Structure 1
């Protein structure tokens, strides 16, 4: 009986830890939005690394929870719903971040394309330097 109580506590505790980890991922995703909008790439890189660390923790917790599958309680059901809601919010914010990053990438591509066109247009006016003075010989006379 005591073993069953310990396993139930451990399953509940694992779900609680997973909920905390998913909450941290959500908060980091919100911070990524701010960093991307401010074009702070160093901060964005740091946030992505931290988020990856939390995602690895969630993967580990999922493995442990899979080993204890079928030992759900009312508390774990509530925690599952909390985790699910946080994951949905995180996915929405992440989709916004991806769109923001794609828009910024497109702006950069357009800027490069405009610079290339301008450079090609200027080449037609500059043809190998200044033309030297020359003479014309009329050979038909």
Structure 2
């Protein structure tokens, strides 16, 4: 009997493994993304891709494959020298600086507590407010009689 496992033990182990599968544990809900937050700047390669896509589309008008464009751009990028990449790197750095300035302003606005919502608005939807106005006018009509 030494060294042998019982069937009950094997079944118990299988159950534990299954319960640890994807989605089995509790997951934290993702925080909602702020639509006002500045988008991250593209890298030098993606700045190059913006230009390359147009060129590739002109040279290959029948090609509809996104993968083919990406593959051709990657090969072209790898074959380029640092001097040829320099203008794209410079544009990427410029966009990165713009992004950092935008993020500073965005974070400052968040720190001040301004989240873009006007303070005059209430929690009620516009339809609820409209319904109240209609009810209020009806009541005034009844009191005028």
Question: What is the TM-score with the length of structure 1 in the denominator?
Answer: 0.31
Question: What is the TM-score with the length of structure 2 in the denominator?
Answer: 0.30
Structure with the larger helix share: 1
